[in-house]
Amino acid sequence: MIRPQRDTEDEAAESRPVRSNTASKLTSERVILLLLSALLAAALIVIYRLSFENIRINQKLESLQMKFKAVNQSLSDEPCPKCEAGWEHHGGKCYNFTTNKSSWEESRCFCQSQGGDLVKIDSRDEQSFLERRLRDVMEEDQDKFWIGLTDSKEEGRWLWVDGSLLDERLTFWNHREPDNWNGDDANGEDCVRMGEKAGAHDLKCWFDQSCKNPQRSICEKPEKNGQRSYVCV
């Protein structure tokens, strides 16, 4: 028996939607698979970058820890020059600018009681430091300060308190000084004071003065070496 042609066409029409649905399903699965693959790849990239950053941070922390240990060890071992309260540090020495007025001998005794002596000026740099500081502490021009220089043993032979002879190449006498004026003291002027409130030309601010005349004074002593834990104050 021969089946009519119309029946054959109907069967073909019924089978076409099945193939179309299958193709659509396969396409959706591919899209999902591609999306999952992309997400996995992105996750792997993020994980890699986080791991690399974590390694870099750990290396930096280790480097900082090593530097901290080195600095702390250095600070713990190095000697620290220090000055006591009320003393100023400069060039390996400590200075005290005493504003109480007394004679040269009394001023020297006070400095010695503090473990030092009246200042001995050994360099132009030291003179510059002192001249600059005195401008800050002087209230008026007559507020000058004793230094450790005198010719009381022999007129014209200037000696420092440690017994050393004044180096004539390193002197800072003001104009026409020393003049050994004896108007106030018959013994003349055998001790030296320094300071110019308005500033001194070429640092020249030494003046001879009667040792009995009360003046302020500059005490000096060596810096004190000690062990420091962190920083030197």
Question: Which residues, other chains included, contact 122 with Cβ-Cβ below 8 Å and sequence gap of 6+?
Answer: 170
What confidence score (pLDDT) does residue 74 get?
Answer: 54
Nearest to 217 by CA among 157, 143, 140: 143
Say which residue the tokens 């006591």 belong to. Answer: 84
Question: Which residues, other chains included, contact 125 with Cβ-Cβ below 8 Å and sequence gap of 6+?
Answer: 91
75-113 CB burial, b ≥16 within 10 A, e <16: eeeeebbebeeebeeeeebbbbbbeeebbbebbbebbee
Q: What is the pLDDT along the chain (233 residues), one digit of tens a residue?
A: 455 555 555 555 555 555 556 666 668 777 788 888 888 888 888 887 777 677 778 777 766 776 676 555 555 555 566 899 999 999 999 999 999 999 999 999 999 999 999 999 999 999 999 999 999 999 999 999 999 999 999 999 999 999 999 999 999 999 999 999 998 889 999 999 999 999 999 999 999 999 999 999 999 999 987 544 334 44
In 81-199, alpha helices (H): 104-113, 124-137
Q: Is 137 helix (H, G, I), strand (E, B) or coil?
A: helix
Sequence ranges of the domains in the chain: 1-78, 82-225
What confidence score (pLDDT) does residue 163 get?
Answer: 97
Q: Is the pTM of this model over 0.85?
A: no
Rg (CA), the chain: 45
Half-sphere CA count of 115, side-chain side, radius 13 A: 11
Q: Tell the CATH topology of 82-225.
A: Mannose-Binding Protein A; Chain A (3.10.100)
